Amino acid sequence: MSTPLKFYQVGSFAVGNRLLGDEQLSVQSRSDRTNSLTSGHRACQGCGEALGARYVMDAAMAATDGKVIAVNATGCLEVFSTPYPETSWRLPWMHSLFGNAAPVATGVAFALKAQGRSDIRVVAQGGDGGTVDIGFGPLSGMFERNDDVLYVCYDNEAYMNTGVQRSGATPPAARTNTTHAVGENPGASFTQGKNLPKIAMAHGIPYVATASVSDLHDLEEKVTKAMSMHGARYLHVLVPCPLGWGTRSEETIKLARLATESGLFPVYEAEDGVVTATKKIRKQVPVDEYLQIQKRFSHLFGPKGNPELVKAIQEIANRNIAEFDLLGEAQ
Amino acid sequence: MLQQIEGSKAVAETIAACMPDVVCAYPISPQTHIVEALDELTRLGKIGNCQFVNVESEFSAMSVAIGASATGARTYTATASQGLLFMVEPVYNASGLGLPIVMTVANRAIGSPINIWNDQSDSMSQRDSGWIQLYAQDNQSAADLHILAFRLAEELSLPVMVCMDGFILTHAMEEIDVADIDLVQKYLPKFAPRQVLDPQDPVSIGAMVGPEAFTEVKYLGHFKQLKALEIIPELSEQFEEVFGRPAAGPDDYKGLVTKYHLEDAEVVLVALGSVLGTIKDAVDEHRKNGIKVGAMGITSFRPFPLDEVRKSLKHAQKIVVVERAFAPGVGGIVSSNIRTALSAIDIKINTVVAGLGGRPITLKSISELVDKALYGSLPEFSFMDLDVELVERELERNLLTRRSGPMAENLLKDLGTR
Ligand SMILES: Cc1ncc(C[n+]2csc(CCOP(=O)(O)OP(=O)(O)O)c2C)c(N)n1
Ligand code: SF4
Ligand SMILES: [Mg+2]
């Protein structure tokens, strides 16, 4: 039996493509990658969403012999990718509204079915706002009907395109322009949150996964796997946003990793409503390490800081770690 | 084939003969019988490989239609009232994108107060949505206009609403000649989309457009509507050649308007939809007494046939527009369009709002209307059969106390306990 591959064999946390055999190379490192979201778009430097979308679409294209139709919700990804006369999309792509990416994709899927084009596949994508808030009802309908669509949510934890306002996916205590870091309870409130991967699982759909741009190999694998399946599939990708989070452009990957290594963003897969795999934390970090380098949490630290809130956030991470056994033995 | 059939069923069978690829639906009275029948027809394999999609809201119904149409599928949906309002955002999106979706609106009032009965405030609220709007007078034209609608939509790459009065038409049993599928196929060529999502030839659809071209995109939407004024007469003529009857009913004129005893009419009643039946009876009655009354129906409300309306009405002395909806704070909707058509022509136009929320429009009331118009006692803007006393009693209650309570419930209580 060969030793299971670990991507940190190179000593750093970088994915060690050069250590891999040809068949294990990432789609992105291959010369025949499709560049479906090609360069020249207008995303900010270090945009996690642009990075995530690029990997997702190229992997989806590779898995389907280049036969993907993409549907996009309104949001940063839609706006920065199509400043006409330029478009970054080198695949058939459609944007309709903010809240309807899922049902538009359903329409595409049923049209293809009517036409007998089972070879062409559909991917819908939206931000966290388009997914967990305004497009939630239609998305749930798409899940419940088990329409043949992969829906990808790029979660940057706020409405970024409109200038950083709170969404249902904004984490507790985070400062946004509608959850100012002033008053008695600075930042977003400590609510139950809207955990869409779990809600998707509750629909019993064939495939649900979370992923992070800190592990792009894992992201590609999940897309590839999702495209090998039929029915409603949901992929939730954590994509740090330097502008909205108040972070340095070059720290996007680091932030995505700290989110997973602290336990705040569990990375897992589920099939038919049951968790089948979790990414274990390699080296646990306290949430402070993740929070401290983000301006949206700066009110929690320093002399006027709020250690109680940091503690409360740590408890959220601890709950995730226990629920998903994130510190357990790697499978 | 002639058959005794419910209006909704006739529409459903006609849609089936148009062989749509995707039908999506969310139920709302009085549209339900149409989509129920289409579900059955699809399951029985009567519509080829058609996909029937049960969605969770009208917002999604129109969104599914948008995705399907953009993928080159002939696409149909139906709604009414609150459902039409619930899908307003994608309704505008579909016309902005130029997607040839056909939708039936089974006309019904809009709440509050919630009311399931017929008027036309729902489709009238979407008159500026960029969709073409055709209004059916009877069930034969309701069915037939859908065939013309697909042809028109696909010719122009613009969505079309076929509006038929809820219950009055949708639930009425009548003898109807449901178009034969072979004839429909002869009239309606295979859908050849102008834009399509296709991996062989990838395009981006739905990009943001700024001030540099937004006006032009909108202008082209307007241009297509005006183009429809030329195409509808052609398609109507071809329809008559193939099916042996006009699509818009017996008094059809070029698919744009209908004319009933207009030639020498001094008083003309103008309306949209099924009320024209009652109006024509009133015309007959008055004609028997030697009074020169006529009726004009508007089949194509969007685009609005300004020229045809002007030509048809300019010799009239009095025009009474019977409206099944109105613009609160101003008055008539249809009449303001009629006035545009007659600008610089000095003819008195009276607007009568009638049949809101299912209130019957009786022959008696219409006949009285004609009399009042003749004797000059008809106000410029009025509500037919308004219970003035009921309204006044509520206004009094409002004066008596600040916290007078919910208006609609007060009126019902007043009526029920007097
Ligand atoms: C119906 C509607 N409401 C509000 C908006 C304004 N709007 C456009 S994009 C957006 C935020 C998008 O946030 P998200 O989905 O999280 O995507 P992001 O930009 O963060 O990637 C909002 C609020 C809109 N376009 N449509
Ligand atoms: S605001 Fe955030 S999500 Fe939007 S382009 Fe910039 S970095 Fe990306
Ligand atoms: Mg967002």
Domain boundaries, chain A: 32-324
What are the angstrom distances between the C-alpha of B5 and each of A164, B140, B274? Answer: 57, 10, 17
- Taking an 8 Å cut-off on Cβ atoms, the answer to whether A96 and B24 are in contact is no
Residue B16 in this model has a pLDDT that exceeds 70: yes
Q: pTM score, two decimals?
A: 0.97
Ligand 2 binding pocket includes A300 (Cβ within 6 Å) = no
In chain A, residues with a C-beta closer than 8 Å to the C-beta of B24 are 107, 110
Residue nearest to atom 4 of ligand 2 (CA): A76
Name the token pair of A163. Answer: 């200038």
Ligand 2 binding pocket includes A244 (Cβ within 6 Å) = yes
**pLDDT band at B402; cut points 50, 70, 90:** very high
Probe target for ligand 2 pocket from A42, A51, A72, A76, with the most ligand atoms within 8 Å of CB: A76
Residue B150 Cα to ligand 3 midpoint, Å, equals: 39
Q: Which of A97, A120, A161 to mutate to probe the B interface, most B CBs <10 Å?
A: A97
Residue B121 in this model has a pLDDT that exceeds 50: yes
Our CA-based measurement puts residue B154 at a distance from the nearest CA of chain A, in whole angstroms, of 16
Tell me the CB-side half-sphere exposure of residue B235, using CA atoms within 13 A: 28
Our CA-based measurement puts residue A299 at a distance from the nearest CA of chain B, in whole angstroms, of 37
Q: Across the beta sheet with B293-298, what order do the strands follow?
A: B252-253, B257-260, B293-298, B267-271, B318-323, B348-353, B381-383
pLDDT digits (tens, 9 = 90+) for B208-247: 999 999 999 999 999 999 999 999 999 999 999 999 999 9
Nearest residue to B342 (alpha-carbon basis) of B372, B319, B370: B319
Residue B157: strand, helix, or coil: coil
pLDDT reported for residue A330:
76
- Taking an 8 Å cut-off on Cβ atoms, the answer to whether A92 and B67 are in contact is no
Our CA-based measurement puts residue B115 at a distance from the nearest CA of chain A, in whole angstroms, of 25
d(CA B379, CA B351): 8
Nearest CB among A89, A110, A115 relative to B204 is that of: A89
Residue A95: strand, helix, or coil: strand
In CATH, what is the architecture of B252-383?
3-Layer(aba) Sandwich (3.40)
Residue linked to tokens 């020229």: B307
pLDDT reported for residue A10:
44
Q: Are A151 and A235 in contact (CB under 8 A)?
A: yes
Measured from the CA of A156, which atom of ligand 2 is nearest? 3
Ligand 2 binding pocket includes A156 (Cβ within 6 Å) = yes
Name the token pair of B335. Answer: 């009449």
Ligand 1 binding pocket includes A77 (Cβ within 6 Å) = yes
- The per-residue pLDDT of chain B, averaged, comes to 97
**Could you report the average pLDDT of every consecutive run of 10 residues in chain A (331 residues)?**
54 58 85 94 97 98 98 98 93 98 98 98 98 98 98 98 97 97 92 91 98 96 98 98 98 97 98 97 96 98 94 97 93 64
Ligand 1 binding pocket includes A171 (Cβ within 6 Å) = no
Task: Confirm or reject CATH 3.40.50.970 for domain B2-243, answering yes or no.
Answer: yes
Nearest CB among B51, B71, B202 relative to A91 is that of: B202
Q: How many degrees, rounded to 5, is the angle at CA B175 between CA B170 and CA B176?
A: 70
Q: Are B66 and A101 in contact (CB under 8 A)?
A: no
Our CA-based measurement puts residue B47 at a distance from the nearest CA of chain A, in whole angstroms, of 11
Share of chain B above pLDDT 90, in %: 99
ipTM of the prediction: 0.96
Say which amino acid occupies B341: A
Residue B112 in this model has a pLDDT that exceeds 50: yes
pLDDT digits (tens, 9 = 90+) for B175-220: 999 999 999 999 999 999 999 999 999 999 999 999 999 999 999 9
Nearest CA in chain A to B198: A92
pLDDT digits (tens, 9 = 90+) for B30-87: 999 999 999 999 999 999 999 999 999 999 999 999 999 999 999 999 999 999 999 9
In chain A, residues with a C-beta closer than 8 Å to the C-beta of B204 are 82, 84, 87, 89, 93-95
CATH of segment(s) A32-324: 3.40.50.970
pLDDT reported for residue B1:
81
Q: Is A71 an interface residue toward B (CB < 8 Å)?
A: yes
Nearest CA in chain B to A90: B202
Probe target for ligand 1 pocket from A49, A51, A74, A241, with the most ligand atoms within 8 Å of CB: A74
